[in-house]
Amino acid sequence: MQPFTDFKLDLETFISDLNALIEINHKTITDLLAVPEKTYANFVRPFDLMEEDLELLFTPLSHINAIKNSPESQKVYAEALPILTDYSTFIGQNLAIYEAFKAIKAREYDHLNTEQRRILDLNILHFELAGAHLDKASKERLAEINLRKSTLTNDFSQNVLDATNAYEKIIIDTADVEGIPEGDLEDAKFEEKGITKYRFTLQMPSYIAYMTYGPNRTIREELYRAYTTRAPQNGAIIDELMALRQESANLLGFENYAEYSLASKMAPSTKSVISFLNSLIEASRKQGMQELEELRAIAPEIDLQSYDTAYYGEILKKAQYDIDEEEYRPYFEQRSVMEGMFTFLNELFGIRFVPQEIELWDEKASVYDIYEADTLTARVYFDLEARKDKRGGAWMHNFQTHCEDTQGCTHLSSAFVVCNFPPSSDTSPSLLRHDDVVTLFHEMGHTLHHLLSRVKEHGVSGVNGVEWDAVEFPSQFLENFAYEPKVLKLFASHHQSGEVLSDEMIAKLIRAKNFQSGMFMLRQIEFSLFDFELHSKLYQGEEIQKLLDSIRERTALIKPPSYNKFQNGFSHIFSGGYSAGYYSYKWAEVLSADAYYAIVDEGVFGSELARQYKEIVLAKGGSQSMQELFTEMMGRECDSKNLLRLNGIE
C-alpha cells in the first residue's frame, strides 16, 4: 500500500515542476501511442493514472491559493492555468488517443470488469461529445459554432453585469428604510452635502435587502421593474444561442440540445425529466396556494404582487417562526459538533476518525485518518474557521484518489473540507449557527463520497466520473441528518450548562426550514422546466415568452407583470453550465430525500440501508451510473414522495 502523500507546496519551484511533469506526460503519451498491441493494461491504465500525478502536484496550489491567498500564490496560480489548459486541449484534440480507446473497446470489452468498461465508455463519450467522430466539414462547423457560442455567452453575462451596475436608487426619507436590518443599512448609507442618503442597487445583497425589508411599496416595484427588465438586448442573443445549440446537438447526432445534455448525465431520458418535474408541480400546488392565502391574509389591504411576496413573507416568517440564532449558537460549539459528527458517522457507517499530529498550513487546520474496523482507509483535512486570506463559502476539495497503480499497489484517498465558521480564540469558543452545522454535514457528504471509494480505476473512483446531476446526492443526503433529532442530540448541548437542545427547539428549526416550501418548490420547478423545455426543441423570439407564460400558468401563483423578462438575466442557463441541467438540483434532492428516509425509517443507528449506502453508493463512486447504484441500494426505483415529505409538503 502506498502511504499518504504529504501536503507540500513550493511556490518558488512550482512552475518548473509543473512544466517538467507535463513534459514527462507528453513523453508517456508518445510512448503509449507507439505501443503496437494496445490493451487496457498497457495503454488505458497508465493513461488514466497520469491524471493522478497532475492532481497531486496541482491540488496543493489551488488549495493554498483558496485558503492562504497571497500575491505570490495568485501569481503562480495565474501562470499555471494556461499551462494546464494547453495540456488538456492537447489531450482533448488528440484523435490518436480516441482511436486507441475505440480499438481497445472493440477487442477487449467483453473481458473487462465494470470499472474498466466505464473508463473506456466515459473517455470515448467525452471525445465524441466534442465531435471527435465527425467528418471534416462537420468538425469545422462545430468549431465555428463553439467559438461563436463562447462570444455570445460572454456577451450575455457582460450585458447582465453592465445593466446591474448601471442602476441605483437613492433614498433620502428615513421612513422609506425603516425596518431594514442595521448591517444592510450601513452598507447602503452615504453622506452627500451633509445629508444622509441610502443607495440601493440591483446587486446582491442590496437588492434582496430592499425587496425583503423595504417598507415603501412604490420603491419595491421600481427596483423589481429595473431588475426584471435588465439587458433587453439579451433577447437577440438567446435566439442566436438557442439556434446554435440546436445545430450543434444535431451535428453530434442528437434530436435536440436537451438530449445532448443528458448524454453525460444520470437522468435516463428527456421524457423522464419532464414528467418528474410535472409530478412535483401537481404535488406542491395545493400547499403553495394555501401558503399564498396565508400571505394574502396579512396584507388584506393590497392586491399582492410579485414585488410584495418577499416583504410580506418576511413579516409572516417573523410572526410564525422567529428563530433567534443567538439562542441556538451556544448549543453548537465547533469542537463538540465535530466530535458528535464523528460519533454519528461511526454509528452509521462504522468508520473511526483518529487525529494526526502533522504540521499544516495553519494552526487551526487539523487532519484525521479514517479507519474501517482496524483498516486504514483514508485521510481528511479540516480547515473550518474564517480568515482574512481565505476565500468565502464552504467546499470539499479532493486530493488523493483511491486506486490501484500499474504495479498493483493500492493508493488511499484524501480530501480537504473547508468552511468559514466564526474563529475561536483562547478565551472564546467558535459557536456555530445551525446553518453552519448543515454546511459541515453537506461538505462531509461530498468528502465521504470521495474517501470511501473502493474502486481501483482512478478516473471513476470517488467523485471522479460521477454524473453531474448526481454529484449533490451524497452531500444533500448527509445534510438532512443535521435536522434529525437523534443525530442532533449526540452533540447539540449547551457549551456552558451542558443542557441538551430540546425537542421543541429542534421542531422549530424544521418548521422554519419548511416555511413556504410549496411556493419555493414551484419556483424552482418553473426555472427547471423552462430551461429543459426550451432546450427540447427550437424556440425563437416570441415563442420563448409564450413557453415561459404557459409554464407559469401552472407554477406562478401570482402572475408576474408583463414587463418581466426574467429570461434575459437567467445567466445559469445562457452563460453558465446549467443549460438543460437546471433540473439537477431537484433531481439530486429526490435521491437524497428517498435514501435519507429509508434510513430514518429504520431507526438511523444500526440501519441496514445505511450499510448498503456505504457499500454501494459510496464505495462504487463513479464506476457505475448513479441510476444503477441507487436502484441496487434501495431495491427499487426512486420515489419522489419523500422529497415532499422532507419539505413538509402533504
Question: Which lies closer to Zn ion via its Cβ, residue 312 or residue 395?
Answer: 395
Dist. CA 522–CA 586, nearest whole Å:
11
Question: Which lies closer to Zn ion via its Cβ, residue 475 or residue 493?
Answer: 475
Signed CA dihedral, 533, 539, 543, 544: sign only: positive
Distances (CA, A) of 143 to 39, 171, 251: 31, 50, 11
- Asked whether the beta carbons of 492 and 333 are under 8 A apart, the reply is no
429-446: b (≥16 Cβ within 10 Å) or e:
bbbbbbebbbbbbbbbbb
Dist. CA 139–CA 411, nearest whole Å:
39
User: Can you say whether residue 200 is alpha, beta or left, with left for phi > 0 and alpha for psi between -120 and 50 degrees?
Assistant: beta
Closest CA to 569 of 309, 238, 311: 238
Site string for Zn ion, 443-482 (x = CB under 5 A): --------------------------------x-------
Question: Which lies closer to Zn ion via its Cβ, residue 309 or residue 475?
Answer: 475
Q: Which amino acid is at 281?
A: I
- Asked whether the beta carbons of 268 and 258 are under 8 A apart, the reply is no
Dist. CA 150–CA 496, nearest whole Å:
56
Annotated active-site residue in 443, 457, 467, 472: 443
Least distance from Zn ion to the Cβ atom of residue 438, Å: 11
- Asked whether the beta carbons of 51 and 29 are under 8 A apart, the reply is no
Least distance from Zn ion to the Cβ atom of residue 582, Å: 16
DSSP per position, 120-174: HHHHHHHHHHTTTTS-HHHHHHHHHHHHHHHHHHHHHHHHHHHHHHH-EEEE--G
Question: Which lies closer to Zn ion via its Cβ, residue 329 or residue 397?
Answer: 397
Question: Which lies closer to Zn ion via its Cβ, residue 238 or residue 471?
Answer: 471
Dist. CA 410–CA 1, nearest whole Å:
5
496 CB neighbour count, 10 Å cutoff:
9
Q: Which residue is nearest to Zn ion (CB)?
A: 475
Question: Which lies closer to Zn ion via its Cβ, residue 60 or residue 474?
Answer: 474
- The residue whose grid cell reads 450499510 is 611
- Asked whether the beta carbons of 474 and 618 are under 8 A apart, the reply is yes
- Contact set for Zn ion, span 73-112 (CB under 5 A): none
Question: Which lies closer to Zn ion via its Cβ, residue 336 or residue 475?
Answer: 475
Q: Considering CB under 5 A, how many residues would be counted as binding Zn ion?
A: 1
Least distance from Zn ion to the Cβ atom of residue 468, Å: 12
DSSP 8-state secondary structure symbol assigned to residue 370:
E
Q: Which amino acid is at 364?
A: K
Helices and strands in the chain, H and E counts = 27, 10
12 CB neighbour count, 10 Å cutoff:
10
Least distance from Zn ion to the Cβ atom of residue 442, Å: 6
Annotated catalytic residue 259: no
- Asked whether the beta carbons of 108 and 39 are under 8 A apart, the reply is yes
Least distance from Zn ion to the Cβ atom of residue 479, Å: 9
343-352: b (≥16 Cβ within 10 Å) or e:
ebbebbbebb
Q: Which residues contact 256 (CB under 8 A, 6 or more apart)?
A: 246, 249, 270, 535, 536, 537, 538
- Contact set for Zn ion, span 108-147 (CB under 5 A): none
Least distance from Zn ion to the Cβ atom of residue 469, Å: 13
Dist. CA 170–CA 164, nearest whole Å:
15
Least distance from Zn ion to the Cβ atom of residue 450, Å: 12
Question: Which lies closer to Zn ion via its Cβ, residue 413 or residue 475?
Answer: 475
Question: Which lies closer to Zn ion via its Cβ, residue 371 or residue 395?
Answer: 395
Closest CA to 251 of 160, 151, 138, 359: 138
- Asked whether the beta carbons of 176 and 214 are under 8 A apart, the reply is yes
Least distance from Zn ion to the Cβ atom of residue 178, Å: 38
Question: Which lies closer to Zn ion via its Cβ, residue 451 or residue 551?
Answer: 451
Question: Which lies closer to Zn ion via its Cβ, residue 475 or residue 575?
Answer: 475
Distances (CA, A) of 98 to 13, 29, 133, 295, 551: 34, 12, 9, 58, 42
Question: Which lies closer to Zn ion via its Cβ, residue 212 or residue 475?
Answer: 475
Dist. CA 243–CA 538, nearest whole Å:
7
Chain residues binding Zn ion by CB under 5 A are 475
Active site residues: 443
